[in-house]
Each structure stands twice: as C-alpha cells, then as structure tokens.
Amino acid sequence: MAHVAIQAARSPAVDLELSWTEAELPERERTKHVHRLHPYLGKFVPQLAEVFLRRYAEAGQLVWDPFAGSGTTLVEANALGLRAAGCDLSAFNCLLAQVKTAAYEPSSLAADVAWLAGGDAPAGGGESEPPASPYLSRWFAPEALAELLEFRSRIGGTAYPELWRVVLSRAARSARLARHDDLDFPREPVRGEYFCHKHRRVCRPVAEADKFLRRYARDAACRVREFGDLRTDAAVAVLEGDARAVDPPGPVDLVFTSPPYPGLIDYHEQHAYAFELLGLERRDPDEIGRGVRGYCEDVAAVLRRARRALRRTGRIVIVVNDSRGLYDGILAAAGLRLEERILREVNRRTGRRAGAYYEEVLVARP
Ligand SMILES: C[S@@+](CC[C@H](N)C(=O)[O-])C[C@H]1O[C@@H](n2cnc3c(N)ncnc32)[C@H](O)[C@@H]1O
C-alpha cells in the first residue's frame, strides 16, 4: 500500500503516519476490548483518535466529540486520563458509548452472566413482556424472537442492565432474518435457503438466538473487564441530543470528531432492530447527513458551538471523507481556520464493501 503521510509541521517529534497497513494495525488491535462490543458502521479506528489525543491533550483536560457515535473518542480519551464528553442524536449510540466507558465490578459481571444463562423462567427479577411488535415478528423466526424476549425479561434482575441491553441488540442483529452477506442494511427478511456471498455457500436463515446471546454475554464480560484494566477515573459524560443545540459540560481543550458524511450511512436505520427491541425513540429527521441539502449549515452550526466552548489554545480535529470539497466552506462558516490537512488511506479489509479509500484529518483553530 502506498503510504500517504505528512510529518506534523508544528510537532516534528510526532510521526503522523496514519495509513496503517493490515500488518501494522491488525484487526484484533483495531477491535480491541470494548471497541468490538457491538457492530457500528462508520466509526474510526481507535488508534487514529489516540494519535491526536496524545498530540493535543494532556491528562485532566477536556475532550469533546459532538458526533460521538459508538464512543471511540471517549474510550480512548479515558484510557489516557483525559476527561471526555460526547453527544449523539441516536439513543442507541449513546447507550453504546455509555456502556463502553462505564466501570464494572468483575464478580457482579460473572453473577449477571450466570443469571442470564439460566434456563429457568425468571424468578422475580424478570419483567413482564409487552407483545412483540410487527417489526419484530417480521424480522425474527418465532424461536429466535422468544429467546430474545426471554433474555430481555431477565435483564431487570442484573447489576448492569445497560450492558446486557447492548448484548441483546448484538444477538438480535446476528439472529435477524437477514442474509449473512447483507447485515448492514437488509431490505427484506429472508425465509428460505440462499447463496451467501460472505460464506460462499448456500446458507439458511437464522432460526435461534440463544447461541448468540450466550456467546456475546461472555464476550462482553471479557471485553469490559479487559478495558477495566486500562480505564482511568477521569470523568466521561455522554449527552443524548442534537449537537446543534448541545453544549459540552465545560471549557474544551480539544475537539476530536467525525461528522456524518452526506448520503453515506443512515445511522438510525443501521440499528433499527435495536430501537425496536429496546424501545428507544428514533429521531431520524434531526439526523445530519441524510442528504446534501442543509448539510454544510448543520455541520457548521455544530462546529461553531464547539468553537465557542474551546479554550484559546485548543484545536478542533475533524476526520472527514470530503470528496465533495465541502469543508473549506464549512470551516469558514464556523469561524475556524485550517492549520493542517492530512490525507489518510483507509484500507477496508472485509466484506462486500472492501476496497481502499481516502479520508482526511483536518486540524483547525479559531
Ligand atoms: C461518523 S459517525 C461518528 C462515529 C464515531 N467517530 C465513532 O468512532 O463511533 C457520526 C455520528 O453523528 C451522529 N449524528 C447525526 N446527526 C446528529 C445530530 N444532529 N446531533 C448529534 N449527533 C448526530 C450519528 O448518529 C453518528 O453516530
């Protein structure tokens, strides 16, 4: 792979090599500990956040991510002893970010896993179940849905209900009547055998959820314990809301963020099953990037708000795929000037969306 890197002009000691090859940055590193708690399309690799957090922030300072998504910035900031706050419009993304950054006590985790795996009907701790919605009946085989709802009813008896809600969602994603090679945005439930491009063989629709629930519950417990060894006591705040109207909880030292790109990913729809199963409210009309129209004004409004909260010495670092060349205008409208523009080759490794593409990291100042 051709490396595209720019040596930092202001800080020659920091080597900004950001176009990592698979060998330099293998999948297990990109998806370490809580970063693989739940699939999320559109996140950046934690190592990218780490480079800029180390470069521009010091322990105790506040990092703000107005488009926090799955919480990558918040996790990496916390591990470095930085205070972190993030905002996201999607209730599911906020849940995910909270769960990733929370503290867990190992013996309570183990007790939860045992309770959730219990075969008997919930004894007292379970909740009575509302009837399955038409969406759930359409997208899950009857046995799979019954197992998911049974797990959901047990969550009330656990020490960490939010963590298990994320596990429930992850299992539901795997157990949907979706083709294995089309898990991101399946349009129609699949009810019969089909040729699967991912597994290169004939596959059948998934009929049960229990195996996923058990596997992912154990996996989640391992992952949060692993991050527990790195986690610091630095404060983390996750604010659910529209970033055009949400302020960070204090003066900000560094903004590190990646806005949605116009027309690329529908962030509500990718977790439609989670919104249904967890009873979360969707706010699709307020999602930025659903189209090009209004996009520049919306992102500029978020960055302007971030700029107002920024300390005089602070930086705003933005990861973008600016193929439409919108960001010069957006930065100007937000009252920011570009200090550095770094091109990074992203080597997508898996799935039918495989293929390299470029993204940019923009470093801006008021
Ligand atoms: C590119 S993703 C961020 C991914 C994140 N960097 C990560 O690693 O997980 C953009 C995020 O912006 C969120 N978003 C879209 N419109 C928003 C709005 N009006 N206010 C706050 N967040 C919004 C989406 O829900 C999505 O999670």
- DSSP characters for 313-327? EEEEEEEE--TT--H
Classified as helix, coil or strand, 338 is: strand
Query: In this predicted model, what pLDDT tens digit does every residue of 86-113 receive, in sequence order?
Result: 999 999 999 999 999 999 999 999 999 9
**CA-closest residue to ligand 1 atom 27:** 69
> Tokens for 197?
């491009």
Query: In this predicted model, what pLDDT tens digit does every residue of 175-201 receive, in sequence order?
Result: 999 999 988 889 899 999 999 999 999
Question: What's the mean pLDDT when you consider all of the chain?
Answer: 91
Averaged over 32-60, what is the pLDDT? 96
Classified as helix, coil or strand, 86 is: strand
Distance (Å, whole) CA 114 – CA 118 = 6
Averaged over 37-62, what is the pLDDT? 96
> Tokens for 140?
């899950």
Query: Of 350, 348, 328, which is closest to residue 338 (Cα–Cα)?
Result: 328
Cα(188) to centroid of ligand 1, in Å?
26
Distance of CA 147 to the CA centre of its chain: 26
Collect all residues with Cβ–Cβ distance below 8 Å to 120 and sequence separation of at least 6: none
Distance (Å, whole) CA 187 – CA 174 = 15
Averaged over 161-181, what is the pLDDT? 96
- DSSP characters for 237-253? EEEES-TTS---SS-EE
Cα(96) to centroid of ligand 1, in Å?
12
Distance (Å, whole) CA 227 – CA 106 = 12
Query: In this predicted model, what pLDDT tens digit does every residue of 242-258 receive, in sequence order?
Result: 999 999 999 999 999 99
What stretch of H or E contains 74? helix 72-79
- Confidence at residue 346, expressed as pLDDT on a 0 to 100 scale: 83
Distance (Å, whole) CA 284 – CA 42 = 17
Cα(88) to centroid of ligand 1, in Å?
6
Query: In this predicted model, what pLDDT tens digit does every residue of 280-305 receive, in sequence order?
Result: 999 999 999 998 899 999 999 999 99
Distances (CA, A) of 275 to 10, 228, 237: 44, 28, 22
Higher pLDDT pick, 347 / 40:
40
Query: In this predicted model, what pLDDT tens digit does every residue of 303-325 receive, in sequence order?
Result: 999 999 999 999 999 999 898 99
Distance (Å, whole) CA 77 – CA 80 = 5
Averaged over 29-55, what is the pLDDT? 96
User: 160 falls in which pLDDT band (50, 70, 90)?
Assistant: very high
Strand locations in 164-306, DSSP E?
194-196, 201-203, 236-240, 252-257
- The residue written with tokens 């919480």 in the block is 71
Buried b (16+ CB within 10 A) or exposed e, 218-255: eebbebbeebbeebeebebbbbbebbbebbbeeebbbb
Residue of 44, 95, 267 with the most ligand 1 atoms within 8 Å of its CB, for mutation: 267
225 Rama class: left (phi>0) / alpha (psi -120 to 50) / beta: alpha
> Tokens for 98?
């909270």
123 Rama class: left (phi>0) / alpha (psi -120 to 50) / beta: beta
DSSP state of 113: H
Residue of 89, 101, 286 with the most ligand 1 atoms within 8 Å of its CB, for mutation: 89
